[in-house]
Amino acid sequence: MIKYKLTPLLLLILPLVTFGQKQLIFHVFDANSKDDLAFANVFLEKNKIGDATDLKGLAKLEIHCQLINIDIVKCTYVGYEDKFIEVNLSEIDTVKISLKPKHIILEEVVVTENNESLTGKELVKAAIKNIKKNYVEKPSNLKAFYREKLVENDKCIEINEALCTFYYTKYPQKGYVKKSFRNYWSNEFRDDHPSRGKVNGILLALGTPQFYKYYNTISDKCYIQTSAISDNLSEHSLNTWITGGPLSLTAIDKVKYLADFLDPKLINQYQYFRKDATYIDNVLCIAVSFKPKILLKSVFQSWNKKVHFPLYSGTIFISTKDFAIVKFESQFSPIARIRNDQLTEPWQIFPKSVIISVDYKRNLANKWYLKSVRTEQVIDRNSSLKWKIPENYNCVRELVITDIIMDNPQNFDNSNKSLFKDMNSAVLRNFRSSYNQELWQAFKTKGHYPTLSVTELEDLEKENSLDYQFKAFE
């Protein structure tokens, strides 16, 4: 009898795909309505490749013989539960993925007489029409916590935080872009504070969290009370350039700035679909999903104008009582790339996905205002248009409003050195601000501080405690 022995090398080769090249198609849809989900992300975790769905909810991956055969598909979409499916790449050509909404959908839709017959598009128009009545109509001060967090290949390598106060102008705002554009480029807002850690190596530049530039008004201001800057623990001598800081997130207040899918001039370029009712923070809302009517593959966006292309898909939650927008969640089109003639630097990165979530809150005067903003940029090693980055990166930015002051709000003098300005080189990590341990401790005592996970703390405190790092940066 002839005996065969499998060598360790052969055992390692066996999991690889043994077929020729083929195309694997993913179809992503809503588990309840069966509607296609545009811009959902599908990712093969072992093979480290992925793509985003088109307007029909379809994504296509080229599968070749060098890939691992048995893999896990991770599918994500803003406002929906993540889904994981084990697949055998050699045996399938199509994968159907149904995602469940995170928000609890009511079995019996409760509506009022003034909105029960309105279509999705009509609900959005009514929400825009009622912004002036529903939202804060005069300047205010917003007390806030800001955080930006960077993950390198599943390990948290950097965290920058700030406690700040905004002078926040009224709702809504129109005709502000050209003045804000001139202010943005008026001078280099760059501090001479030296960067710590690894100073030689690659530069990962992460601009606005919406990729295209969105502005605040020139009257909107951000006063930094104290900041907390960690070490950079990149294993690849990575220098980070996370621009925009807290003001990059207030610029995402699309209700205030009538932007994108809430821009009256863009409404006809989007499709709106009325969904079921759900509660958001105990407010009964009707969900309206949206996506572009057509998918743009090349966009030339002038920096001195509002974005005038349909670039997002997602869901808007509109109060059944007063048509106030209580929340919106959106994803940026992964296909709408910038044109090559807009690229000026070799390090310019186009994220694999951009996810945005914005919440609003009603005060005692029944006026709505900004409650929180969260963005996530996913950058894989193939995202760069001019050169390759060494790992996959994930940048999360959060802004949490902890209080609003409407009576006699404090404005800030432009010469105040503690003002973080919306200018082209504004980076919190390079902004000169002291670490006030007592102020941070008092803030955490009030229960507003979003805690880090155990894993994130272990990653960040690999060499020194965060408190030590924050103090050392002064």
Gap between the Cα atoms of 141 and 166, Å rounded: 5
Which amino acid type is present at position 231?
D
d(CA 230, CA 468): 9
CB 126 within 8 A of CB 108: no
Q: Give the pLDDT score at 367.
A: 94
Q: What is the DSSP string of 427-454?
A: BGGGS-----HHHHHHHHHTT-S-PPPH
Q: How far is CA 170 from the centre of its chain?
A: 24
H or E element in which residue 178 lies: helix 177-184
**Range of the structural domain that residue 182 is part of:** 120-472
Specify the amino acid at residue 243: T
Task: Report residue 325 CA to chain centroid gap.
Answer: 19
Burial of 296 (0-12, 13-18, 19+ CB in 10 A): middle
Based on the fold, state whether residues 294 and 415 are members of the same structural domain: yes
Q: Could you tell me if 88 and 133 lie in one domain?
A: no
CA Rg, the chain, in Å?
24
Q: Are residues 151 and 272 in the same domain?
A: yes
Q: Does the global pTM surpass 0.75?
A: yes
Q: Are residues 306 and 414 in the same domain?
A: yes
Strands 298-299 and 337-338: parallel
| 453: in domain | yes
Instruction: Assess whether 314 and 432 both reside in one domain.
Output: yes
The residue type found at 15 is P
Please report the pLDDT score of residue 224 as a whole number. 95
The percent helix, strand, coil of the chain (3-state, each to 5) is 15, 35, 50
Residues 300 and 187 in one domain: yes
Please give the Cα distance from 315 to 79 (Å, whole number).
Answer: 8
Q: How far is CA 54 from CA 38, 67, 87, 382, in A?
A: 5, 24, 22, 19
Asked whether residue 130 falls in the same domain as residue 54, the answer is no
Considering its fold, how many domains does the chain have in total? 2
* Residue-level pLDDT, tens digit, the chain, 474 residues: 444 444 444 444 444 444 457 889 999 999 988 999 998 989 888 888 888 898 899 999 888 767 888 999 999 998 899 999 999 988 888 999 999 988 776 655 555 556 668 999 999 999 999 999 999 999 999 999 999 999 998 899 999 999 999 999 999 999 999 999 888 887 644 444 334 333 344 556 676 777 778 999 999 999 999 999 999 998 887 777 888 899 999 999 999 999 999 999 999 999 999 988 899 999 999 999 999 998 776 667 777 888 888 989 999 999 999 999 999 999 988 666 554 444 445 445 667 788 999 999 998 889 999 999 999 988 877 655 555 677 888 899 999 999 999 999 999 998 888 899 888 778 898 887 889 999 999 999 988 899 999 999 999 999 999 999 999 876
Predicted local confidence at residue 295, as pLDDT: 75
Predicted pLDDT at 46? 87
Q: Using DSSP, state whether 262 is helix, strand or coil.
A: helix
Nearest to 207 by CA among 183, 243, 246, 235: 243
The pLDDT score that the predictor gives to residue 236 is 82
How far apart are the C-alpha atoms of 313 and 77, rounded to whole Å? 10
Question: Does one domain contain both 211 and 267?
Answer: yes
Q: In this structure, is residue 107 part of a structural domain?
A: no
Closest of 367, 335, 354, 437 to residue 396, by C-alpha? 354
- Please state the φ and ψ torsions of residue 296, each to the nearest 5 degrees: -85, 140
Closest to 299 (Cα-Cα) out of 346, 352, 340, 354: 340
Structure tokens at 319: 């109060």
The CATH number of residue 55's host domain is 2.60.40.1120
Residues 178 and 148 occupy one common structural domain: yes
Residues 95, 124, single domain; the answer is no
> Do residues 223 and 163 make contact, with C-beta atoms less than 8 angstroms apart?
no
Query: Mind giving me the DSSP string for 76-134?
Result: E-TTB--EEEEEETTT-SEEEEEE-BSSPBPSS----TTTTT--HHHHHHHHHHTHHHH
Tell me whether residue 87 is exposed, middle or buried, using C-beta atoms within 10 angstroms of its C-beta: 0 to 12, 13 to 18, 19 or more: middle
Q: Are 120 and 290 in contact (CB under 8 A)?
A: yes
Same domain, residue pair 330 and 209: yes
Residues 161 and 248 in one domain: yes
Closest CA to 322 of 360, 356, 291: 360
Q: Are 416 and 222 in contact (CB under 8 A)?
A: no
